[in-house]
């Protein structure tokens, strides 16, 4: 299902000439408000070739549908969505998301990778077109690459010239997946770290991009052991061939860090994070629990969305973020007069409209504002909408230590489970046991309980 169309309007095409890379911008939210073509940075990328390969890899992720054996869309840029870039002051973060909604990539250019002037803070799309892609493949050597993010001085004086326009559909599944990623990454913990040599050896041993098997990896000594079943501390690697996207970056890698949620024997497939240390840059690739399983159905944000207190707190927290590259929860809590846990819940709510991302390397949220209409991103959770309808219709009744929830002709029992939280007698809960977020009935019971407590 498509929720809308994203229209890009660039003052010119992005281009690379004489080691001068100009990335044109289209429509962005900045510290000065909405701008048609914001200017974020002018200066140098201190390591030109790794940056060029990182941008190419971002483009490859955005062009790929792993449900089609990892093939680029139509072998071209058809259906391609331009990368998102956020300037938070000391670094640039470039993000892209695969067409199949199962892979998220981010290139973080750190302070050591930038030498120049930060002109504004904010988020926008940047134009990546076929001629630019081809030019980036020819960048060699480690000499600096001059970079402008936004119209350069020459383009600014000729904005009545050739305008580049693109219109790309934004499927609901794609938007929901992009919103889910921060909540998923916030549950990650570091699980393994490899040296450059071990990183290259591990990734080159993996099967082709067409592989859809599910494997589990654990660190043993300085390398990773691959198994067919989960163990405590292991990381799921679903569709191992998807990591082949990292191969062009291996010659620059100083190591690999692996992230994942807590798992135990008997756990089902889980998302995972794979980050290459490139020195002045980092490249992060997040993988969904399966090549046919995008991030949109993981439900990581639903409990936060169902909490009316968290939604109210989000209105307090949002103005305090200030385009922070690392959100200091304690500082925001102090400024907003909220407990740190309430700030974390509010940040999860803000993720639903793309207003924060999450960096597992920093174990922290960062402020960004997706360059889309927030109305396209919010309200895309059918389980939450169903739960609110059940509560508003008076279909949730306390029963003992739990609740009875009447949905249609059936009544489900929602009950406390060991370790905290709620379970349900519906087929969704039986199938997933909370691994893909709460069911509609658990959400309804939680919302009804919160409302009752508030009274």
- On whether both 92 and 200 belong to a single domain, the answer is no
**Is the pLDDT assigned to residue 159 strictly greater than 80?**
no
Token pair 């960096």 in the structure block, residue? 359
Q: Are residues 18 and 125 in the same domain?
A: yes
Q: For residues 260-271, b (16+ Cβ closer than 10 Å) or e, as one string?
A: bbebeeebebbb
Domain end residue (candidates: 126, 143, 169): 169
Q: What pLDDT, on a 0 to 100 scale, did the predictor assign at position 453?
A: 47
Is 88 among the domain residues? yes
261 with 163, same domain: the answer is no
Is the model more confident about 211 or about 246?
Answer: 246
Distance between CA atoms of residues 64 and 50, nearest Å: 21
**What is the C-alpha to C-alpha distance for residues 379 and 245, in angstroms, rounded to an integer?**
32
Q: Reply yes or no on whether the pLDDT at 68 is more than 60.
A: yes
- Report, as an integer, the average pLDDT of 12-35: 91
Q: SS3 for 356?
A: strand
Q: Which helix (H) or strand (E) holds 299?
A: none
Q: In 195-325, at which residue ranges do the beta strands (DSSP E only) sit?
A: 214-220, 223-227, 235-238, 255-260, 272-277, 281-287
Domain boundary among 143, 169, 195: 169
CATH number, position 7: 3.10.150
* DSSP state, residue 3: E
What would the pLDDT profile of 160-208 be if each residue is shown by its tens digit?
456 888 888 877 778 778 878 888 898 899 999 999 999 999 999 887 6
Residue 89: phi and psi, rounded to 5, are: 120, -70
**Which DSSP string corresponds to 91-123?**
-EEEEEE-TTSSEEEEEEE-GGGEEEEE---EE
Q: Which residues contact 21 (CB under 8 A, 6 or more apart)?
A: 14, 15, 45, 52, 145, 146, 147, 148
Residue 63 domain-assigned (yes or no):
yes
Asked whether the beta carbons of 273 and 408 are under 8 A apart, the reply is: no
Q: Residue 311 domain-assigned?
A: no
What whole-number distance in Å separates Cα of residue 267 and Cα of residue 281? 33
- Answer yes or no: is 327 within a domain: no
Looking at the structure, tell me whether residues 149 and 32 fall in a common domain: yes
Residue 214, pLDDT above cutoff 70: yes
pLDDT confidence tier of residue 39, bands split at 50, 70 and 90? very high
With bands split at pLDDT 50, 70 and 90, how would you rate the model's confidence at 89? Answer: confident
- At residue 244, φ and ψ (nearest 5 deg) are -60, -20
> What rounded mean pLDDT belongs to the chain?
86
231 and 269 in a single domain? The answer is yes
Q: Show the domain range for 100.
A: 2-169
Q: Which pLDDT score is estimated for 78?
A: 59
User: How confident is the model at residue 176, as a pLDDT?
Assistant: 78
Structure tokens at 234: 């292991």
Candidate from 232-236, 295-299, 312-316 with smallest mean pLDDT = 295-299
Which of 89-103, 249-263, 290-304, 432-446 is the least confident region? 290-304
Residues 6+ positions from 4 with CB-CB distance below 8 Å: 169, 170, 373, 376
The burial of 250, by beta-carbon neighbours within 10 Å (0-12 exposed, 13-18 middle, 19 or more buried), is given as middle
Q: Do 293 and 407 sit in the same domain of this protein?
A: no
Same-domain status, 240 and 388:
no
Domain identity same for 201 and 263: yes
pLDDT band at 74; cut points 50, 70, 90:
very low
Q: Shortest CA distance to 320 belongs to which of 378, 373, 352, 367?
A: 367
Check whether residue 31 and residue 138 sit in a common domain: yes
Burial 93-109, CB ≥16 within 10 A → b, else e = bbbbbbbbbbbbbbbbb
More confident residue, 377 or 45: 45
d(CA 380, CA 60): 27
Same domain, yes or no: 48 and 146? yes
Question: Does residue 388 belong to any structural domain of this protein?
Answer: yes
In a domain, 245, yes or no: yes
Rounded Cα gap, residues 326 and 359, in angstroms: 8
Q: Give residue 3's pLDDT.
A: 59
Please give the pLDDT value at position 158. 47
Closest listed residue to residue 236, CA positions, set 277, 195, 280, 267: 267
Q: Compute the radius of gyration of the chain from its Cα atoms.
A: 22
Chosen domain end from 113, 141, 169: 169
> Picking from 92-96, 175-179, 342-346, which range would have the lowest pLDDT averaged per residue?
175-179
Whole-model pTM? 0.84
**pLDDT grade for 75, boundaries at 50, 70 and 90:** very low
**257 in any annotated domain:** yes
Domain membership of residue 280 (yes or no) is yes
For the cut 50, the answer to whether the pLDDT of residue 242 exceeds it is: yes
Residues in the chain, total: 455
- 164 and 190 part of one domain: no
Q: What is the pLDDT of residues 298-326, one digit of tens each?
A: 555 566 666 668 878 988 999 999 999 99
Which H or E element spans position 317?
Answer: helix 308-317
Q: Which of 157-166, 368-377, 397-406 has the lowest mean pLDDT?
A: 157-166
* 196 and 162 co-located in one domain: no
Q: How many domains is the chain built from?
A: 3
């Amino acid at each position: 299902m498509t929720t809308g169309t994203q229209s890009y309007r660039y003052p010119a095409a992005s281009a690379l000439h004489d080691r001068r890379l100009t990335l044109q911008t289209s429509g962005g939210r900045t510290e000065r408000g909405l701008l048609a073509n914001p200017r974020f940075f002018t200066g140098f990328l201190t390591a030109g070739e790794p940056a060029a390969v990182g941008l190419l890899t971002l483009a490859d992720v955005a062009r790929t549908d792993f449900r089609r054996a990892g093939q680029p869309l139509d072998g071209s840029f058809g259906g391609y969505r331009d990368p998102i870039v956020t300037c938070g002051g000391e670094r640039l973060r470039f993000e892209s998301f695969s067409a199949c909604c199962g892979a998220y990539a981010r290139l973080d250019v750190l302070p050591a990778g930038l030498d120049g002037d930060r002109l504004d803070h904010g988020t926008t799309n940047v134009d990546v077109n076929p001629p630019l892609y081809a030019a980036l493949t020819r960048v060699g050597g480690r000499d600096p690459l001059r970079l402008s993010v936004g119209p350069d001085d020459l383009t600014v004086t000729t904005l009545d010239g050739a305008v580049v326009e693109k219109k790309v559909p934004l499927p609901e599944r794609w938007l929901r997946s992009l919103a889910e990623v921060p909540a998923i990454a916030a549950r990650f913990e570091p699980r393994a770290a490899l040296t450059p040599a071990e990183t290259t050896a591990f990734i080159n041993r993996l099967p082709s991009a067409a592989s859809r098997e599910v494997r589990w990896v654990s660190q043993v000594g300085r390398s990773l052991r691959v198994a067919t079943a989960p163990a405590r501390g292991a990381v799921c690697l679903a569709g191992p061939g998807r990591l082949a996207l990292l191969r062009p970056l291996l010659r620059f890698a100083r190591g690999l860090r692996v992230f994942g949620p807590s798992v135990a024997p008997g756990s089902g497939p889980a998302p995972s994070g794979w980050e290459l240390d490139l020195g002045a840059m980092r490249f992060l690739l997040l993988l969904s629990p399966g090549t046919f399983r995008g991030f949109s159905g993981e439900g990581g944000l639903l409990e936060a969305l169902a909490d009316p207190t968290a939604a109210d707190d989000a209105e307090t927290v949002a103005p305090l973020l200030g385009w922070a590259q690392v959100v200091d929860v304690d500082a925001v809590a102090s400024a907003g007069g909220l407990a740190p846990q309430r700030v974390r819940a509010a940040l999860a709510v803000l993720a639903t409209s793309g207003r924060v991302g999450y960096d597992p390397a920093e174990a922290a949220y960062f402020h960004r504002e997706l360059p889309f209409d927030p109305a396209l991103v919010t309200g895309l959770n059918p389980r939450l909408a169903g739960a609110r309808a059940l509560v508003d219709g008076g279909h949730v009744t306390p029963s003992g230590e739990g609740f009875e929830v009447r949905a249609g002709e059936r009544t489900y029992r929602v009950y406390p489970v060991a370790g905290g939280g709620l379970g349900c007698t519906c087929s969704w809960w039986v199938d997933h046991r909370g691994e893909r977020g709460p069911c509609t009935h658990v959400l309804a019971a939680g919302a009804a309980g919160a409302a009752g407590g508030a009274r």
